[in-house]
């Protein structure tokens, strides 16, 4: 075949396509189009792609929402934990005493005052108060003195509304010192009540 | 006159035939005759070398027990073994007399134990003989215990007062009850049910009571023979402390410390469930009871006037009155009374210049006597001879138990490991 003979069928095809395109773009009378099989398939594929894209976007949005809500819950938990830790410290703060005395000094009363609202706001909270003494004084008298020191702190809390059954008292006398030096600074630390949470302390509510 | 010293075995051999002649001179059984010596002096005694298994150890224990009694002077037999015996085989009493000995102890290991003869030098004769049974394995703790009993018997032959070598001291080390022999040997730990304080002996010597502290504080009575424990129960918000048995051994008295003060309570050992209150503290702390030997009165520590002092009350709780009403010292801290076995005085601790010292005060004249001054000294406990006291002292830098002879002032260190506290001297142990 010559170039001419090859060219003519191509030109005829192009002409046909161009003329149909021209026919299509120009205003036409509405004539129900009869889709070819190819056109139908193309359109359905397009719709399917669109559906899948929409589904993916929706899934992303849901995942983001869940992550956001987890983050919010975690943040709330962290805040609650920090708050519980702070409230727990308030409950377990130590108070100290003068030598051979069990009376509550004003600084001890202030520490106890801070415990009261936490105890009242968290009715499941139970504590144990353990009284201690410094190494001076007879060991045996110190054991009784420790019991009295615990009792004094408990009475103070009970008088301010904490139910008696929530507070246990005990004594370690001079047997469990926090320091061993023989000087007033160490002795003062040892003359103390310690407060231990025995139940209900995992999550504390602010008063 | 000095001779070359030969081996102890040779000296013992010199008396090998002697026991036969001793038996011939045996005094009537059941009659106890003491040495002819002046009371207040310390008679000299010689312990001849002992032939037989563990003879050297036996002799060493007897000599040491005599020495530690602070009532005898132990004389060494040195340099003149030949001069100790006469050609006939009997003792050369004149020789021993010039040595300064009032008594000579002559013993031989036998199949069943130890045959002992006691010679009175001035009387120049044997004044007592006995075959002691020793069935324990030599050098064991139980064997030493038996030998201490023999020393006490011989001491009783010599002075008419039984020795205290067969006693033990209970004490606390890291909140565990420990026992140590009179001579500081054979320290052992007892199994305790919790962190322990304040061991106290039953007058029969077979049980020790102590208290635990912290939550579940309770009084425990430990039977030394069976190893069993009896528990008087724990109560919430209560510390049970300082147990002490009455002299008749039938009841136990201890302090119950509640949120309203501490009072002394008494409980029968034969099963009665409810403790009976003795002191009326009205909110004060009343702890550490110690009975008079007749059981009629009890001394204890009380802060009813604001600071700890020693009080005495009748055993039923009436007529409570202050005992340590004296001006000497810091005046605001007196504690830990222990009533002497003869009933005449009370040992206690009193604060002087910021540190506790050991004091005694007679019930009658109420004049305090300060017995210590070096370091800090606490928790006195009388020996059954009413003469020796064991207490805790920090004079070496750590807490150790020391024994004081209140008559001569002699002091000896009982423990070598620091951290020993709250000693309690046993009664004379051993079966009679």
Chain segment B233-291, per-residue pLDDT in tens: 999 999 999 999 999 999 999 999 998 999 999 999 997 778 999 999 999 999 999 99
Tokens of B116: 């002992």
Tens of pLDDT, residue by residue over B97-130, are 998 999 999 999 999 999 999 999 999 999 999 9
Residues 6+ apart with CB under 8 A from B158: B34, B35, B43, B45, B72, B102, B103, B118
The pLDDT value recorded for residue B25 is 41
- Helical packing angle, A106-121 and A139-159, nearest 10°: 50
Tens of pLDDT, residue by residue over B69-106, are 999 999 987 766 666 777 777 889 999 999 899 999 99
A100, A130, A151 ranked by CB distance to B259: nearest = A151
Please check whether residue B90 is in contact with residue B72, taking contact to mean a CB–CB distance below 8 angstroms.
no
Which of the four pLDDT bands, split at 50, 70 and 90, describes residue A143?
very high
Helix (H) or strand (E) segment spanning residue B356? strand B355-362
The pLDDT value recorded for residue B123 is 93
**Ranges of CATH 3.40.50.10070 domains, chain B:** 8-159
Tokens of B140: 């064991």
Alpha carbons B151 and B163: distance in angstroms, whole number: 7
**In degrees, to the nearest 5, what angle opens at C-alpha A8 toward C-alphas A7 and A9?**
100
The pLDDT value recorded for residue B49 is 94
A138, A170, A172 ranked by CB distance to B349: nearest = A138
The full set of domain ranges for chain A reads: 80-199
Instruction: Tell me which residue has tokens 């009665």.
Output: B272
Higher pLDDT: B10 or B84? It is B84
Alpha carbons B187 and A65: distance in angstroms, whole number: 72
Q: Kindly determine whether residue A140 and residue B301, on different chains, have CB atoms separated by under 8 Å.
A: yes
Tokens of A52: 């899948």
Helix (H, G, I), strand (E, B) or coil at B172: strand
Tokens of B193: 């049910």
| Residue B52 burial by Cβ neighbours in a 10 Å radius (0-12, 13-18, 19+) | middle
Which of the four pLDDT bands, split at 50, 70 and 90, describes residue A29?
low
The pLDDT value recorded for residue A19 is 58
The pLDDT value recorded for residue B86 is 75
Alpha carbons B54 and B139: distance in angstroms, whole number: 8
* pLDDT over 90, % of chain B: 82
Q: Is B215 on the interface with A (CB under 8 A)?
A: yes
Alpha carbons A146 and A136: distance in angstroms, whole number: 13
For residue A48, give Cα distances in angstroms to A36, A40, A53, A56, B241.
Answer: 19, 12, 9, 12, 86
Q: Kindly determine whether residue A140 and residue B288, on different chains, have CB atoms separated by under 8 Å.
A: yes
Which of the four pLDDT bands, split at 50, 70 and 90, describes residue A183?
very high
Alpha carbons A170 and B214: distance in angstroms, whole number: 5
Alpha carbons B309 and B302: distance in angstroms, whole number: 5
The pLDDT value recorded for residue B4 is 44
A and B: number of Cβ contacts within 8 A: 98
Which of the four pLDDT bands, split at 50, 70 and 90, describes residue B7?
very low
Which of the four pLDDT bands, split at 50, 70 and 90, describes residue B39?
low
A128, A143, A150 ranked by CB distance to B241: nearest = A143
* For testing contact with chain A, the best of B173, B285, B289 (most A CBs within 10 A): B285
ipTM of predicted assembly, 2 dp: 0.88
Q: How far is CA A175 from the centre of its chain?
A: 39
Q: Kindly determine whether residue B259 and residue A168, on different chains, have CB atoms separated by under 8 Å.
A: no
Instruction: Output b/e per residue, B77-109; b: 16+ Cβ within 10 A.
Output: beebbebbbeeeebbbbebbeebebbbbbbbbb
Helix (H, G, I), strand (E, B) or coil at B108: strand
Helix (H) or strand (E) segment spanning residue A149? helix A139-159
User: B3-7, B354-358, B363-367, B398-402 — which is least confidently predicted?
Assistant: B3-7
Length of chain B, in residues: 432
Residues forming beta bridges with residue A195, ordered by sequence position: A129
Give the gap in angstroms from C-alpha B161 to the nearest C-alpha of chain A.
34
A128, A138, A147 ranked by CB distance to B257: nearest = A147
Q: Closest chain A residue to B310 measured between Cα atoms?
A: A141
Q: Is B307 on the interface with A (CB under 8 A)?
A: yes
Q: Closest chain B residue to A99 measured between Cα atoms?
A: B307
User: A16-20, B53-57, B149-153 — which is least confidently predicted?
Assistant: A16-20
Would you say the C-alpha torsion B105, B109, B110, B114 has a positive or negative sign? positive
* For testing contact with chain A, the best of B175, B200, B214, B351 (most A CBs within 10 A): B214
Alpha carbons B223 and B190: distance in angstroms, whole number: 10
Q: Is the pLDDT of residue B12 over 50?
A: no
Which of the four pLDDT bands, split at 50, 70 and 90, describes residue A18?
low
Please check whether residue B322 is in contact with residue B358, taking contact to mean a CB–CB distance below 8 angstroms.
no
| Residue B40 burial by Cβ neighbours in a 10 Å radius (0-12, 13-18, 19+) | exposed
Alpha carbons B112 and B132: distance in angstroms, whole number: 8
Q: Is the pLDDT of residue A111 over 80?
A: yes
Domain B168-425 has CATH 2.60.40.650: no
The pLDDT value recorded for residue B32 is 46
Please state, rounded to an integer, the average pLDDT across all residues of chain B. 90
Average pLDDT of B364-370?
Answer: 94
The pLDDT value recorded for residue B155 is 96
Q: Is the pLDDT of residue B8 over 80?
A: no
The pLDDT value recorded for residue A47 is 93
SS3 content of chain B, % helix, strand, coil (to 5): 15, 40, 50
Q: Kindly determine whether residue A143 and residue B257, on different chains, have CB atoms separated by under 8 Å.
A: yes
Which of the four pLDDT bands, split at 50, 70 and 90, describes residue A37?
confident
Please check whether residue B349 is in contact with residue B359, taking contact to mean a CB–CB distance below 8 angstroms.
yes
The pLDDT value recorded for residue B82 is 65
The contact set of A with B (CB < 8 A) is 100, 128, 130, 137-141, 143-148, 150-151, 154-155, 168-173, 175
Alpha carbons A146 and A191: distance in angstroms, whole number: 8
Average pLDDT of B311-332?
Answer: 91
Residues 6+ apart with CB under 8 A from B20: none
Partners of A148 on chain B (C-beta within 8 Å) are 257, 261-262, 285
**In degrees, to the nearest 5, what angle opens at C-alpha A58 toward C-alphas A54 and A61?**
140
Q: Is B2 on the interface with A (CB under 8 A)?
A: no
Q: Is B237 on the interface with A (CB under 8 A)?
A: yes
- Please state which architecture CATH assigns to domain B8-159: 3-Layer(aba) Sandwich (3.40)
**Ranges of CATH 2.120.10.30 domains, chain B:** 168-425
Q: Is the pLDDT of residue B30 over 50?
A: no
Backbone conformation region of residue B186, classed left if phi is above 0, alpha if psi is from -120 to 50, else beta: left
Instruction: Tell me which residue has tokens 């702390």.
Output: B285
Tokens of B386: 């009413």
Residue from B39, B40, B38, B58 nearest B48 by CA:
B58
What is the rounded (10 degree) CA torsion for B142, B148, B149, B151?
150
Please state, rounded to an integer, the average pLDDT across all residues of chain A. 89
Residues 6+ apart with CB under 8 A from A163: none
Average pLDDT of A87-96?
Answer: 97
Average pLDDT of B332-358?
Answer: 96
Q: Which fold has domain A80-199?
A: 60s Ribosomal Protein L30; Chain: A; (3.30.1330)
Residue from B382, B379, B390 nearest B247 by CA:
B382
Alpha carbons B77 and B70: distance in angstroms, whole number: 19
Q: Is the pLDDT of residue B41 over 50?
A: yes
Higher pLDDT: B363 or B13? It is B363
Alpha carbons B197 and A69: distance in angstroms, whole number: 57
Q: Closest chain A residue to B301 measured between Cα atoms?
A: A141
Helix (H, G, I), strand (E, B) or coil at B127: strand
For residue B252, give Cα distances in angstroms to B193, B264, B424.
Answer: 19, 10, 16
Q: Is the pLDDT of residue A26 over 80?
A: no
Which of the four pLDDT bands, split at 50, 70 and 90, describes residue B15?
very low
Q: How far is CA B291 from the centre of its chain?
A: 17
Helix (H, G, I), strand (E, B) or coil at B400: strand
């Amino acid at each position: 075949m010559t170039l001419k003979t090859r060219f003519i069928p191509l030109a005829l095809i192009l002409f046909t396509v161009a003329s149909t395109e021209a026919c299509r773009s120009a205003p036409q009378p509405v004539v129900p189009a009869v889709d070819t099989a190819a056109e139908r398939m193309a359109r359905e594929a397009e719709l399917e792609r669109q559906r899948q894209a929409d589904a993916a976007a929706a899934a992303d949005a849901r995942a983001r929402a869940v992550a956001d809500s987890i983050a919010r819950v975690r943040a709330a938990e962290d805040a609650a934990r920090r708050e519980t830790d702070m409230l727990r410290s308030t409950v377990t703060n130590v108070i100290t005493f003068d030598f051979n005395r069990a009376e509550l000094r004003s600084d001890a009363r202030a520490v106890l005052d801070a415990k009261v609202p936490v105890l009242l706001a968290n009715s499941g909270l139970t504590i144990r108060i353990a009284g201690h003494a410094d190494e001076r004084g007879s060991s045996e008298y110190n054991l009784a003195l420790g019991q009295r020191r615990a009792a004094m702190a408990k009475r103070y809390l009970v008088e301010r509304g904490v139910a008696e059954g929530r507070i246990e008292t005990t004594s370690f006398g001079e047997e469990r010192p926090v320091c061993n030096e023989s000087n007033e600074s160490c002795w003062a630390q040892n003359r103390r009540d310690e407060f231990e949470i025995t139940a209900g302390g995992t999550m504390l509510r602010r008063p | 006159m000095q001779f070359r010293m030969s081996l102890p075995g040779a000296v013992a051999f010199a008396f090998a035939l002697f026991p036969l002649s001793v038996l011939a001179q045996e005094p009537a059984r059941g009659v106890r005759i003491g040495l002819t010596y002046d009371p207040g002096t310390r008679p000299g005694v010689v312990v001849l070398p002992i032939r037989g298994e563990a003879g050297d150890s036996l002799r060493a224990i007897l000599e040491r027990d005599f020495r530690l009694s602070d009532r005898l002077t132990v004389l060494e037999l040195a340099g003149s073994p030949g001069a100790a015996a006469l050609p006939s085989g009997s003792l050369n009493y004149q020789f021993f007399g010039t040595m300064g000995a009032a008594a000579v102890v002559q013993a031989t290991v036998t199949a069943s134990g130890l045959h002992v003869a006691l010679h009175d030098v001035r009387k120049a004769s044997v004044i007592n003989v006995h075959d002691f049974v020793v069935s324990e394995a030599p050098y064991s703790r139980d064997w030493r215990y038996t030998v201490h009993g023999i020393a006490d018997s011989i001491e009783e032959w010599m002075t008419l007062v039984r020795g205290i070598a067969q006693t033990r001291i209970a004490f606390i080390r890291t909140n565990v009850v420990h026992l140590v022999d009179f001579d500081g040997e054979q320290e052992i730990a007892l199994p305790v049910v919790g962190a322990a304080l304040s061991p106290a002996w039953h007058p029969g010597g077979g049980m020790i009571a102590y208290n635990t502290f912290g939550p579940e504080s309770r009084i425990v009575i430990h039977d030394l023979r069976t190893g069993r424990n009896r528990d008087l129960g724990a109560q919430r918000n209560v510390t049970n402390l300082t147990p002490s048995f009455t002299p008749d051994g039938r009841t136990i008295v201890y302090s119950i410390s509640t949120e309203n003060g501490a009072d002394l309570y008494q409980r029968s050992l034969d099963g009665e469930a409810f403790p009976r209150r003795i002191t009326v503290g009205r909110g004060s702390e009343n702890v550490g009871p110690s009975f008079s030997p007749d059981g009629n009165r009890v001394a204890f520590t009380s802060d009813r006037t604001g600071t700890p002092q020693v009080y005495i009350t009748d055993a039923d709780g009436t007529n409570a009155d202050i005992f340590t009403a004296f001006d000497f010292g810091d005046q605001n801290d007196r504690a830990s009374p222990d009533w002497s076995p003869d009933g005449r005085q009370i040992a206690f601790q009193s604060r002087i210049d910021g540190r506790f010292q050991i004091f005694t005060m007679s019930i009658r004249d109420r004049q305090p006597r300060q017995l210590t001054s070096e370091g800090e000294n606490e928790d006195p406990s009388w020996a059954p001879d009413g003469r020796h006291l064991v207490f805790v002292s920090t004079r070496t830098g750590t807490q150790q138990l020391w024994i004081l002879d209140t008559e001569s002032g002699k002091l000896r260190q009982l423990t070598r490991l620091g951290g020993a506290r709250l000693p309690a001297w046993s009664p004379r142990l051993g079966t009679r």
